[in-house]
Structure 1
Amino acid sequence: MGLYLEDFVLNSTQRTRGRTIGEGDVSLFAGLVGDYNPLHVDEEFCKGSIFGSRVAHGPLVLSTAIGLMSQMNWIDGTALGLLGVSWEFQAPVKLGDTVIAKVTPLEARPSKTAERGVLKLGFEVLNQKEETVQTGSIVLLMQRRPQHPNQ
């Protein structure tokens, strides 16, 4: 079971494990979402691009960062929904690059419903050279710790 809203330590950054973005990731993502832009799927086209080789879809890397955070068992079974995403893309992620995320709980507050709360997590996504490639935040609807009435 993941953490309840009250369990998050604000402004305490944790680093995820790494994940190498490969050919299969880009091909599957392109097929899943229907984005076959040549920047992602055509190596010959990309040789003449500003990147020089193929790059991963920005939302693929964003999703990977959220997945890496999820592997830390922070939100398994306690997240109720994704309420918002705010994200910026600073640098390309090329096939073969390894990404990690630094994740920081930024805000935790109760919602209108006593059993739920709102959690904002900040992300800094880095490549294997420790260069920032993406930054952003997500807002989640979370379960609060169950309160047991005094008997």
Structure 2
Amino acid sequence: MINEQFYEDYETGFSRRTFGRTITETDVVMHAGQTGDFFPHHMDAEWCATQDFGQRIAHGTLVFSVGIGMTASTINPRAMSTGYDRVRFIKPVFIGDTITVTASITEKRAHPKRDTHGVVVERIDIANQHGETVLVCDHLYLVERRHAGRD
């Protein structure tokens, strides 16, 4: 779906929530193969049983990737992702956990070099099926202004 929004159309405080997505063993194994991260925390059930968390955990980068993908339900040709700030892995995600994502506009600011664009910051909060936050980050967008100018 296409949803054209200019910088001026974004409202601080606007929030959206995704449907759930269960993290599977296949997700973990595929991510390990793609990244080369075969650490026992993710792959060795017997070793994990001796650790505090008691079971294998999903890679933080897997949870990040899946969570961000879950928010990509619309295309805005006036905006482009420029990166992520303050990525934090808060709690482990286990095989079989279901995650949901809440994305909230937390800030709008002038772009330091382009008066034709602004920066929109979207806080990403990924939670497990118990409502516990497992990952947070700020997603930064470069967004075209309807009219050049400053805030």
TM over 0.5: yes
Distance 1:76 1:25 in 2: 28
Q: 1:25 deviation in Å?
A: 1.2
Residue correspondences, number = 144
Distance 1:31 1:116 in 2: 39
1:9 corresponds in structure 2 to 11
Query: Which stretches of structure 1, 4 residues or longer, exceed 6 Å deviation after superposition?
Result: none
Give a deviation string over 1:32-81, Cα, whole Å, max 9, x none.
Answer: 1111111111112211121111110112111222111112x1x5434323
Q: Is the 8 A contact 2:82 2:142 kept in 1?
A: yes
Equivalent residue letter for 1:121: E
1:113 corresponds in structure 2 to 114
Q: Is the 8 A contact 2:85 2:140 kept in 1?
A: yes
Aligned pairs (5 A) from 1:1-151: 1-2=2-3, 3-71=5-73, 73=74, 75-111=75-111, 112-145=113-146
- Name the SS of the counterpart of 2:41 in structure 1: helix
Equivalent residue letter for 1:133: V
Distance 1:120 1:76 in 2: 15
TM-score, with structure 2 as normaliser? 0.84
Equivalent residue letter for 2:134: V
Taking only aligned residues, the RMSD between alpha carbons, in angstroms, comes to 1.8
Identity, % of aligned pairs? 36
Equivalent residue letter for 2:102: K
Higher mean C-alpha displacement, 46-55 vs 5-14? 5-14
Q: Is the 8 A contact 2:81 2:139 kept in 1?
A: no
Higher mean C-alpha displacement, 95-104 vs 4-13? 4-13
TM-score, with structure 1 as normaliser? 0.84
Unaligned runs of 5+ in 2: none
